Amino acid sequence: MIETGYMQVLAAAALAVLAIVLAKVKAIPVGKEIAFGTVRSFVQLVAVGYALEFIFNTKSFWLVALSVAVMTVVGAYTAAQRAKHFTGGFFIALISISAGSLVTLGLMLALRIITPEARYIIPLAGMIISNTMNAGAVTFDRISSDLKDHRLAVETALALGKTWRQASLRFYRNAVKAGMISILNFMKTVGIVALPGAMTGMILAGASPLEAVLIQVIVGYMLISSVSIASILAGEMAIRRFFNAAEQFVG
């Protein structure tokens, strides 16, 4: 097992320098962004590392809850940036991400898959929140674009006496499916196209491949559950924003 320390990180930074040189040689205007990203990711991750060390050592429930809450709020804010054509995107994202996280983590605790310790809760919540955030953002984006592009289809159905739900059902389903597509593709190709990050990290850290695989399977199931909950809720709440009580399309 190779020891990992700051010297190794510094050596690995040579790889980022290689990317900057390549960008410079080919005149691709991303050199500054790579340099900034290299430094920024180092600072952010080291800061998180210290924060996690502190939280793990204090074993405070409130600190764990605060960490998860901050991640959720930032995730909801990011997903809401895709809610351009309707109001309340932040709250919809907040509710869907929270529900996806709480139900999934709650079930994992109830089924004794994990124990209520910071070292489980925080990394798993991070994975769930980032995945549900992406799912919510894609769902928002798809609902907005589909309803705008298919206004005639929606209004034709309304004009023929259909309810807003009937008129928009296929666009809702498409949007929710689009939100889940990333995790569905991941589950189809996991282990064949790529070894996932969590599993690779465990193997690099010295865990047995079989143990890493079992953890990865659990993570996969956890993500499909949380992403499904978040996409469905985000879709349900977002699509309602395009219609009023008089079954009129107001998007």
Partner 1 sequence: MSCHNTVVLETRHAGRQIIKNGNAIRTVDNVSYAFNKAHIYNLIGPSGAGKSSLLRLLNRLDEPTEGEVRFFDKPLAEYPPTELRRMVSMLFQTPYLFPGTVRDNLQFCCCDLTDDKIGQLLTRVGLDESFAGKDADDLSGGERQRVAIARALSLEPEVLLLDEPTASLDPTSSQTIEDLILRLSEELCLTTIIVTHHPNQALRLGGETLFLVKGRLVETGKTEKVLKDPETELARKYINRELR
Locate tokens 């930074």: which residue? 13
Nearer to partner 1 among residue 152 and residue 193 (C-beta): 152
Q: How far is the CB of 248 from partner 1 (least distance, A)?
A: 6
Q: How far is the CB of 70 from partner 1 (least distance, A)?
A: 37
Reading the block at residue 112, the tokens are: 């004794």
Residues 139-168 that bind partner 1 (CB under 8 A): 152-153, 155-163
Q: How far is the CB of 126 from partner 1 (least distance, A)?
A: 41
Residue 169 engages partner 1 in binding (rule: CB under 8 A): no
Nearer to partner 1 among residue 119 and residue 170 (C-beta): 170
Nearer to partner 1 among residue 41 and residue 163 (C-beta): 163
Reading the block at residue 159, the tokens are: 């004009």
Nearer to partner 1 among residue 41 and residue 248 (C-beta): 248
Nearer to partner 1 among residue 193 and residue 245 (C-beta): 245
Q: How far is the CB of 166 from partner 1 (least distance, A)?
A: 9
User: Helix or strand or coil: residue 194?
Assistant: strand
Residue 247 engages partner 1 in binding (rule: CB under 8 A): yes
Reading the block at residue 241, the tokens are: 């924003």
| Measured distance CA(245)–CA(247) in Å, rounded | 5
User: Helix or strand or coil: residue 4?
Assistant: coil
Total residues at the site for partner 1 (CB under 8 A)?
Answer: 15
Residue 77 engages partner 1 in binding (rule: CB under 8 A): no
Reading the block at residue 92, the tokens are: 């919809």
Tell me, what amino acid is at 140? F
Residue 87 engages partner 1 in binding (rule: CB under 8 A): no
Q: How far is the CB of 87 from partner 1 (least distance, A)?
A: 15
Bridge-partner residues for 194, per DSSP? 190
> Rounded to the nearest 5°, which phi and psi values hold at 194?
-155, 155
**Those residues with Cβ within 8 angstroms of residue 216's Cβ, 6 or more apart along the chain or in another chain:** 190, 196, 198, 199
How many other C-beta atoms lie within 10 A of the C-beta of residue 23? 17
Residue 246 engages partner 1 in binding (rule: CB under 8 A): yes
Nearer to partner 1 among residue 15 and residue 160 (C-beta): 160
| Measured distance CA(89)–CA(144) in Å, rounded | 11
Contact residues: partner 1, CB under 8 A: 152-153, 155-163, 246-249
